Structure 1
Amino acid sequence: MAESPTGPLLRLYLAATHALGLRAWKHIESRRKRGKEHADRWREKGANQMAPRPEGPLIWMHAVGLGEVLALRGLIEALAEARPDLHFLVTSSARASGEVFDRNRPPRTIHQYLPLDVPVFRKRFLDHWRPDLAVWAEQDLWPGFVVETARRGIPLAMINARMNARSYASRRKARPLYADLYRRFAYIAAQDDATADHLRALAPGLVVAVTRSLKAACAPLADSPDRPVVEAQLTGRRPWCAASTHAEDERVALAVQARRFAADPASLLILAPRLPTRAREIALDCEAHGLTYAFRSEGQLPAPATAVWIADTFGEMGLWYRLCPVSLIGGSFGPVQGHNPWEAVRLGSAVLHGPETANFAADYAQLESAGATRLVTDAATLETALDAADLRDIAARASALQESAAGGIITLSDRLLDLMPR
C-alpha cells in the first residue's frame, strides 16, 4: 500500500507526542500512585517489562475497555481455528479490562496494556512485538501508533467500528486528521449503516463494510469455580440480576426489589454495579429502601433474610448470568446509553432493558424485532416483566439470533487472514 498523506493536523499531533514524551513517565507514575494503573503491570504503559513474543505469526488487536476487549474472543477463536500457527496479542487501556480478560483469555493469546502514544514507547513496543497484522476495534485510535504501524508495512484493519452522531460531531472538527488515519487502513468494517456513513463523511471515498457487532457472537464468559457452593446457598431463592448498573438503574431495580421481597422473601436481587467501588454507596441505597444486603467482595453469601447481594467484584458476570434466568442490563436508564446485552444472552438469561440504549441501538433493535428482549420504562413495567410467563421464550429467541451471528465472524476472520503476508 502506498504511504498515505500526513496533513497539517496529523503532523501537529505527532509533533506534540514528541514534545510530551519527557513527561510521559511522570504521568504514568502519577496514575499508579492514585491506583489508576495495575499495581504489578503499570510499566507496560511505557513499553517496559513486556511478555516474551511467541515464535511465528502474530496478530495484534487493540480495544480500549472491558466490553470491547471481551468482544474480541469469538473472533480470536475463529482465527485460531482457521490458522493453528497464529498467536494473538490483545492490548487495552483500562485497568479492569486486563484483569477480567485474563480470566476469559482464549488459547495462544497474550494481554498487555497499550503504551502511551509517544515515539519512544511506540518504537519499543513495535520493535518487540513485530505484529503481522494490527486490528483496531470500535472507536479507540492512537494516531501515532497507526502512523508508525503503517510506516513499517504492517497491514491495518479497523473492525466493529461504532460512531454515533455525538462522536461524529466531535470528530468532524478534526476531519483532516481522521481522514489521514482512516486511509491507512486496508480494511474497515462498521457495526451499522450510520457508523459507515459517518466514516465516509470523515474520509470521502473510504470503502467501509457493514458487519454485525462482534458482541453478538461473543464467547461465553468464564464460570466461577465456586458456583456449586453459591447454587447450594441459593436453593429455594428466586434470583434476578441487575447487571453493569449505574445509579439511575439502581433506583429502579431497588424500588422493585423492595416490593418483591416484601411480598416474597425468596426473591433475591443480584446487583452487579459497573464500578464495584460504588458498593458502599449502593449499600446506603439499600438501607434507604429497607433492604438487607451482603457484599460478594467480602466473601459474604446471601442469608435467607438477604434481599440484595451486591456483586462488587470484577470478572464474575459469567457466574451471575448463569444463576439468573432474567437480567436487567444497566446503563439503560440514564446518560450512559446502555451496555452489552449479548453476554447475558449467551448464557441463557432473558434480557430486559431500559429506554436509553443509543450505544447499542442496532443490537437492541435487532433483539426487539425478533421478540428477543423486553423494554421496561419504569419500576412498574420492570416488576411486571420479571414475572412474565414468556421469559424462557425471550431467551430462546435471543439465543437463536446469537447462533446466526457465528457465520459473520467466520467471514470477518477470512477477510482479516487475507490481509496477512503469505
Structure 2
Amino acid sequence: MRHPLALTADLALRGRKDQTRPDSFAPRPPGEVVWLHIGLTEVHAFARPLIQRLMTLRPGTHVVLTRASEVAPCDPAGLDMVDAGQVPETSREAKAFLTHFAPDMGLWMGGDLVAAPLAAAAERSVPLALIAAMEKGVPVPGLRWRSSVSRALLRYFSAIHTETANAERRLAAYGLDPGRLHLTGPMQVGDMPPNCVESDLDALRETLGNRFLWAGARITASEMELVLNAHAQLARFTPRTLAILHPEDARAADALTEAAADLSLGVADWDAGDPITEATELLMTRDPAELGLWHRLAPISVMGGSFVPALETPSPWPAASLGSAILSGPHLTAHADAFSRLRMAGAARVVSSADELFTALSQLSAPDSTAAMAHAGWQIATTGAAATDQVVAMIQDTLDGGGTG
C-alpha cells in the first residue's frame, strides 16, 4: 500500500527511534480478536463497559488493549482481555504487533492518532473505526505537518463516532465522507450491572420487608472493626437494621465473626444457609458473584478497601448502576476518577471513622435522602449506554462482514 507523502515521511522519521518494546508478546487469544487502543485519558472510563457489553453480546470475542503512555492500565477483572501495554510507535514494532495478534478489527478510542500502528493496520486491511472521538484528539485542520498526517490517517477509518458536535465539525473539516461520521455522544462510564438470581431477590425482599438495609462490599480485615462499630451504633438507634457484609477474604471473615461476637451482634451466614430472623443484625456472604444481589437489595453500599491506606478499593460503578448510594473511606487511589464523578453528582460521600460512618448511615436511613443519592449515581453510571450499544452494534456488523459504516 502506498501512503500519502506526509505520512510516508512521518513513518520514516519515527522508524529512526530506538527499539524499546520487547520482541515477544502475550499469546494471541483464540477466536475473534478486537484491538482496542485508548488514546486519551479522558475516554479511559469508556473501555471497561464497552468490553463488558461486547463480551455479553458476542461470547468468545477477545480484546487486545493498547494505550497511550499517559493512560493508566484498564482493570482486567472479569474481562476477556490481553493488556499489550503502550501502543507500538515505529513501523517495525507495529508490524510485529499486528502480525502476532492478527486482529479482526481495530478500534481507536478518543483520538491522538499514532501513524505507525494505523498505517500498518491499513496495510493488512484491518477494518478500523475511531470511537468516542474528541476535539482534543484531533488537531485543527490546516497546512501544518501534523494536520497533513492526521488527514491521511483519518481516511483509514471506515467509521468515526464522535463524542460532541464540535468534534464532528472538526473532523468534517478534514473533508471526510459525511456518511462515515456519527455523532453518538459520550459512551457509558459505569461497569455493566452484575446479574443476580431473581428468585433469591424476590424471596429476600419478602423476608426482609421494610427493614433498613445497607451492604458492605469487600470489607477487609483491617477495616472490619471500624465498620462493625458503626453498625453497632446504628443498630442501637435504628431497630431491625440489617448489614449485609461481604468480607474480602477468609481473614476478613474471621475478623467479622470475632468483632460481631465482641459487640454481641447476631450473625447469619448466607453461604451456610442460616435463616434470617428478626434477631439477625449481620448477614455475611462470601461469594463475590452475588454482589449484584446485595447491591440490588440494599439502598446503600459501603466500599471496602477505602478506610485504610494501600488497599484495593472495588469499583463503585456496579453498585451505582443498580441504584445504591455510595459511602467510602478517604483512601481511593483505585477508581479515584469514578468516585470523584459520583461525589460531584451527590451520589457518593466520604467518611473517615466509625462515628462518621454511623452518622452517614443514620442520615441515609431516611428513604428520600437515599433515593436522591441513588438516582444521581444511577444516572451517571448508565448515561451513555445507548452510545456504547451503537458502537457494539457497529463492531458486530464489522465482524460479521457487514463493514463499519
Please classify the TM superposition score into its range, dividing by the shorter chain length: 0.5 to 0.7
Aligned match of 2:54 = 76
Separation in structure 2 between the aligned mates of residue 281 and residue 191 of structure 1, nearest angstrom: 48
Shift of 1:387: 2.5
Question: Matched residue of 2:217: which SS?
Answer: strand
Residue 248 of structure 2 is aligned to residue 242 of structure 1: no
Residue 76 of structure 2 is aligned to residue 150 of structure 1: no
Residue 375 of structure 2 is aligned to residue 396 of structure 1: yes
Residue 273 of structure 2 is aligned to residue 299 of structure 1: yes
Q: Considering only CA atoms, is the larger Rg found in Structure 1 or Structure 2?
A: 2
Distance 1:89 1:384, change over 3 A: same
Shift of 1:347: 1.5
Structure 1 window deviating more from structure 2 (391-400 vs 295-304): it is 295-304
Residue 200 of structure 2 is aligned to residue 219 of structure 1: no
CA contact (8 A) 1:60 1:88 kept: no
Distance 1:212 1:367, change over 3 A: farther
- Which residue among 206, 210, 218 is the counterpart of 1:232? 206
CA contact (8 A) 2:265 2:282 kept: yes
TM-score (norm 1): 0.57
Separation in structure 1 between the aligned mates of residue 373 and residue 303 of structure 2, nearest angstrom: 15
Residue 355 of structure 2 is aligned to residue 383 of structure 1: no
CA contact (8 A) 1:150 1:156 kept: no
Aligned match of 1:24 = none
Q: How does 1:17-416 map to 2 (within 5 A)?
A: 59=34, 71-72=49-50, 75-76=53-54, 80=57, 88-90=60-62, 150-151=98-99, 152=102, 154-157=104-107, 214-216=188-190, 218-224=191-197, 225-235=199-209, 237-275=211-249, 278-334=252-308, 335-336=310-311, 338-388=313-363, 389=366, 390-410=369-389, 412-413=391-392
Q: 1:18-69 deviations in whole A, cap 9, x for unaligned? A: xxx9xxxxxxxxxxxxxxxxxxxxxxx998xx7xx5xxx765789xxxx999
Separation in structure 2 between the aligned mates of residue 236 and residue 188 of structure 1, nearest angstrom: 49
The amino acid across from 1:396 in the alignment is: H
Q: 1:379-405 deviations in whole A, cap 9, x for unaligned? A: 222212213241111112222223423
CA contact (8 A) 2:34 2:106 kept: no
Separation in structure 1 between the aligned mates of residue 236 and residue 374 of structure 2, nearest angstrom: 27
Distance 1:180 1:277, change over 3 A: farther
Q: 1:104-160 deviations in whole A, cap 9, x for unaligned? A: xxxxxxx8697xxxxxxxxxxxxxxxxxxxxx6xx96799x9976511364444769
Q: 1:174-198 deviations in whole A, cap 9, x for unaligned? A: xxxxx999998877889999xxxxx
Structure 1 window deviating more from structure 2 (402-411 vs 389-398): it is 402-411
Separation in structure 1 between the aligned mates of residue 240 and residue 250 of structure 2, nearest angstrom: 25
Separation in structure 2 between the aligned mates of residue 255 and residue 294 of structure 1, nearest angstrom: 18
Separation in structure 2 between the aligned mates of residue 255 and residue 367 of structure 1, nearest angstrom: 26
Question: Matched residue of 2:292: which SS?
Answer: helix
The amino acid across from 2:194 in the alignment is: L
- Structure 1: tracts of 5 or more residues without a match: 22-44, 81-85, 102-110, 115-135, 162-178, 194-203
Question: Matched residue of 1:286: which SS?
Answer: helix
Distance 1:153 1:373, change over 3 A: closer
Distance 1:112 1:153, change over 3 A: closer
Separation in structure 1 between the aligned mates of residue 20 and residue 119 of structure 2, nearest angstrom: 15
- Structure 2: tracts of 5 or more residues without a match: 4-10, 38-44, 65-75, 122-127, 136-145, 151-161, 164-184
Separation in structure 1 between the aligned mates of residue 240 and residue 80 of structure 2, nearest angstrom: 43
Question: Matched residue of 2:277: which SS?
Answer: coil
Separation in structure 1 between the aligned mates of residue 284 and residue 120 of structure 2, nearest angstrom: 46
Shift of 1:286: 2.6
Shift of 1:292: 3.0
CA contact (8 A) 1:158 1:188 kept: yes
Q: 1:48-99 deviations in whole A, cap 9, x for unaligned? A: xx7xx5xxx765789xxxx99974466328x95xxxxx6642479xxxx88x
Separation in structure 2 between the aligned mates of residue 356 and residue 192 of structure 1, nearest angstrom: 31
Distance 1:368 1:112, change over 3 A: closer
Question: Matched residue of 1:222: which SS?
Answer: coil
CA contact (8 A) 1:7 1:180 kept: no
Aligned match of 1:197 = none
Separation in structure 2 between the aligned mates of residue 72 and residue 251 of structure 1, nearest angstrom: 38
CA contact (8 A) 2:217 2:302 kept: yes
Distance 1:189 1:331, change over 3 A: farther
CA contact (8 A) 1:239 1:270 kept: yes
> How many matched pairs?
316
The amino acid across from 1:394 in the alignment is: M
Separation in structure 1 between the aligned mates of residue 398 and residue 273 of structure 2, nearest angstrom: 48
The amino acid across from 2:98 in the alignment is: A
